[in-house]
Chain A
Amino acid sequence: MSDFPLVFERGAAGRRAARPPVTDGASMAELLGEEALRADPPRLPEVSELDLVRHYTQLAHRQFSIDGNFYPLGSCTMKYNPKLHEDAAERFLDLHPYQDPDHAQGILALLHDLQRDLATITGMDAISLQPAAGAHGELTGILMIRAYHEANGEGEQRRVVICPDGAHGTNPATASMAGYDVVEVPTGPDGEVDIEAFEAALGPDTAAVMLTNPNTLGIFERRILRMSEAAHAVGAQLYYDGANLNAVVGRARPGDMGFDVVHLNLHKTFTTPHGGGGPGTGPVGVKAHLAPYLPVPLVAREGDRYVLDAERPRSIGRMRSFYGNVGNLVRAYAYIRTLGAEGLRRVSSMAVLNANYLRVKMKEAGFTIAFDRVNMHEFVAQPPAGMRTLDIAKALLDHGVHPMTVYFPLIVKEAMMVEPTETESLETLDAYAATLAEVLRRAEADPAYLAEAPRHTPVRRLDETTAARKPVLRHGFGDL
């Protein structure tokens, strides 16, 4: 079997697919000086337009996607990305970030109203649209908390961020980047944070508590109001990781749960495409006492015009250039304006309905449910004894559907974290459960079945060990 070619291995010297307008004139050496110029051109592909089209079309066919089939990655909220939003975003492509704000009033109005609507949806007082991703929003939020404590003269005293042991990896990584020590608290037998351990961990050194609610097991923290009271009683700030907001969007608000800061993953709850890994978009919302620390600039209204307000002396500063991933902000705005409040309530209601339905179906198919109870938008399952989650995941690929998130959260052995989202029909969920049952049946009949899966994917299992031990991170052009 031959290798699928790299774009560098197609075409021939002298070909190309696109031709820019050409300007004749003085040479680069005359204009810039010989010493400023590179000696050899970069070795970029030289392909015809049709070669280019076939290459990236064939690569697209070697890629699993939501558009192609069911993609129930837990914690990732792989819901349908409406085509309408692509049309919406195209209306704002030719805007330069430094054009005169008086001649960008349309996009500023849109961003201003999106700030307002996200504040309403989260129950917060102010929103920054700037962060580029969820983890970037986390860093923004924790830095604001740090600035707040320092302004109160408690910067030296508060050194610790508390995270549950089931937290997303970004939470402790963020706390470290913000200069904090991390203390993990255990999950109790009901799948919720161990409340005694939590309260014992809180103290005068606690800067913040980072929580996801529902948590990474898909279970709502029923004691959330007690937890927020306890955190605030010791002067800590409560941070909401919005990765799981799809479970409650429109029906419950982090602000009402007592959170002081929240980040949203617009690429999860608000349908901006994941894009194969990004760009995400991670707006941050705060209660009023933290609003002075929001990154600059904010979009503000002054009389009848919208402005970029960078004159905010207590701000933590900028988190990135310009104002945010505006193309994605337009998509999220389109989603909110299409759904309205009632539509958003239906999103979370049906997301939770679908997840509970699939939980029951997977249990019937022979899987164990970790912390088996009514869940929210996702749940964590385990394979029958003796089987490995990784093998089942690989077998699913042969059936044309995507596995769930595997081996997360870390606190459940052989974890399979399943999040179907609200945009999937019951027929799709039934078919997935039937496929899972079929995989178990065949695995029991033939032990080699799992070990050799997948058989029918574009490539089969990879040698990841060699990839890491002898990293090849670029094409060699035959000379490396």
Chain B
Amino acid sequence: MPYVPHTDDDVRRALAAIGVDDVDDLFADVPAEILDPPLDLPEPMDEVALLAHLDALAALDQQAVPTFLGGGVRRHFIPAVTPRLAMQGEFVTAYTPYQAEVAQGVLQSTFEFQTMMSELTGLPIANASMYDGASAVAEAALLAVRQTHRETVMVSRAVHPETREVLQTYLWPLDIDIEVVDLEPSLTTPVPAVGDHVAALIVQDPNHLGYLEDMPAMAAAAHAAGALLIAVVDPLALAVLREPGSYGADVAVGDGQVLGVPMQFGGPAFGFMVVTDGLLRQLPGRLVGQTSDVDGRRAFVLTLQAREQHIRRSKAKSNICSNHQLAALLATVNMAALGPTGLREMAEGTVRRAHQLAAALRAAGADVAANERFFAEFVLRTRAEGATVRRRLAKRGVRAGVPVPAEYGIGNGVTLAATELTTDADVEALLAALHDVGELGVVGTEVVA
């Protein structure tokens, strides 16, 4: 079923109109030696067989069990109304809104998205979304290089390791240097000495291990050297935490998965970038602006496209073309559904559940890191390697434990995350599983893999 409507009669009628005898005549420009190679693909399946096949695959994957995984993606409350509204066919099967007269649905909802991201971050100008948080950080670093004409960026080691790897990939061909700031024993970033060769200081708050950073001091250190502060933020946390605009960040970037996008094994969610007025002309990606139509009605349109690849080609600010519109729409509808109160309750529930979890673990004899200033996740030192702990817990029906990489110098450990969805029963399941695998400080317990 290739979703092709043509009957044999249709094909004959079309060929006659075109004036050729056979469909293959339309492929005459393709060199004969490369036309129609044998393709070793699986036999086609009908709808019932396909879904049965996918069900069999999905059954091999742990889903819908107590979950304490973070590291950039978390399971949060998504009300039923959010996907029902955002995943309407008109939004799902629309193209980029180049014909504004018939694309007000996408354009206006994007304008609403830009407004909400501006409100959350306290900075005035949000673009229409990026691929993900990691590539948004890389694009923000390039923005800072363009703005300052400096060729070094400084990044905290507590910025997500994958984000720093993406940064490295993007900056390498342009010969831009990266200086890494090492952490203090509190697992937070010391205020670094920023040189006047630095385009931007990049700090994540809460950081990759979950802890809050001293962002006002970071802003002061960056600005004293004429560098930008790029704040990598968790947008849900901003329902309670101080917003980047309040402490002088020049750019706020991050990943929007926590705002209403299913985890989906890590994608697609969306990245966002919000900047000060002075950085507007350097901003990559699509922007929606308000204007009016010939009858004077308010309307929305893609604007300032002279920054973009389809106009500027090799002189564009970025090659970015697609955004992650549909995921951003999920977040827009979700924030509108929850409102300021609901979003705050989710953030507060996350903080309370995470702190309750840490307290319960300590009470059970687990080695929880000492720093108390964390949002959704924190570090648990473990006896076994982090990945081993995670696998042993998974065998006991609990998804928990993002391994802490060796670069943090704490030995074996994992981060554990809670959210407003975490229940007392989930916590009991985690404690029982940790006890089972010998990570709760019971002396002499032998671990069974």
Contact = CB atoms under 8 A, between A and B. Distances in A.
Given A276-B94, A462-B301, A135 B108 contact: no
Interface in B25-48: 25-31, 33-47
A31 interface: yes
Contacts of A95: 61, 63, 263-265
A7 B300 CA distance: 14
Interface of A is mostly: loop
A369 interface: no
B119 A88 contact: no
A47 B324 CA distance: 25
Contacts of A202: none
Interface stretch (A38-46, A232-240, A381-389, A434-442): A38-46
Interface stretch (A104-112, A193-201, A284-292): A104-112
A460 interface: yes
Range, interface on chain A: 35 or more
A121 B13 CA distance: 30
Interface in B88-124: 88-97, 99-106, 108-109, 111-112, 114-116, 118-120, 122, 124
Pairs of residues from A and B, 4 with the lowest C-beta to C-beta distance, nearest first? A63-B105, A322-B266, A97-B266, A275-B326
Range, interface on chain B: 35 or more
A319 B73 contact: no
Interface string A346-388: 1101101110110111000000000000101000000000000
B325 interface: yes
B116 A20 contact: no
B291 A104 contact: no
Interface string A408-429: 1000000000000011111000
A448 interface: no
Nearest to B333: A56
B326 A344 contact: no
Nearest to A67: B89
Nearest to B166: A318
A256 B88 CA distance: 40
Contacts of A43: 119, 340
B106 A276 contact: yes
Given A97-B263, A474-B125, A42 B340 contact: yes
B15 interface: yes
A146 B333 CA distance: 42
Contact of A356 (B18, B87, B133): B18
A64 B340 CA distance: 31
A6 B261 CA distance: 22
28 contacts: A15-B339, A17-B338, A37-B240, A38-B243, A39-B242, A41-B239, A44-B340, A56-B88, A61-B105, A63-B90, A67-B89, A96-B265, A100-B390, A106-B56, A106-B58, A117-B41, A134-B322, A177-B318, A178-B173, A182-B314, A224-B31, A250-B39, A319-B169, A322-B266, A325-B268, A353-B26, A459-B104, A473-B288
B10 A276 contact: no
Contact of A454 (B10, B86, B101): B101
A352 B27 contact: yes
Nearest to B133: A321
Contacts of A328: 268
Interface in A203-246: 219-220, 222, 224-225
B112 to A, nearest CB: 5
Contact of A31 (B288, B301, B352): B352
B446 interface: no
Contacts of B41: 117, 120-121, 336, 340-341, 344
A86 to B, nearest CB: 7
Interface in B47-95: 47, 50-51, 53-64, 67, 69, 71-73, 75, 77, 79, 81-82, 85-95
B445 interface: no
Interface in B274-323: 280, 286-299, 301, 303-304, 306, 308-316, 318-323
A253 B322 CA distance: 25
Given A100-B399, A250-B39, 11 more contacts: A19-B345, A45-B336, A87-B51, A143-B173, A169-B311, A175-B314, A177-B318, A251-B30, A252-B35, A256-B37, A397-B101
B325 A4 contact: no
Nearest to B418: A23
Contacts of A336: 41
Nearest to A425: B5
Contact of A461 (B128, B289, B294): B294
B318 A20 contact: no
B346 interface: yes
Interface string B318-356: 111111111101000111111111111110110111011
Nearest to A180: B173
B430 to A, nearest CB: 14
Nearest to B320: A135
Contact of B399 (A24, A99, A473): A99
Interface string A77-96: 01111101011110111111
Nearest to B92: A273
Given A321-B266, A323-B265, A462 B27 contact: no
Given A337-B44, A426-B14, A467 B93 contact: no
Contacts of B91: 60, 63, 65, 275-276
A463 B27 contact: no
A229 to B, nearest CB: 12
B212 interface: yes
Contacts of A341: 38-41
Contacts of A323: 265-267
A340 B246 CA distance: 55
A71 interface: yes
Given A56-B88, A274-B93, A473-B126, A135 B322 contact: yes
B326 A472 contact: no
B168 interface: yes
A459 to B, nearest CB: 4
Interface in A6-44: 6-8, 15-26, 28, 31-33, 35-39, 41-44
A208 to B, nearest CB: 13
B391 interface: yes
B50 A277 contact: no
Given A17-B339, A343-B2, A424-B5, A99 B69 contact: yes
A353 B14 contact: yes
Contact of A59 (B54, B108, B175, B301): B108
Contacts of A61: 90, 105
Q: For B73, B95, B327, B372, which residue has the most chain A Cβ atoms within 10 angstroms? A: B95
Contacts of B291: 462-464, 466-467, 472
Contacts of B31: 222, 224-225
Contacts of B319: 135, 138-139, 170, 173-174, 176-177
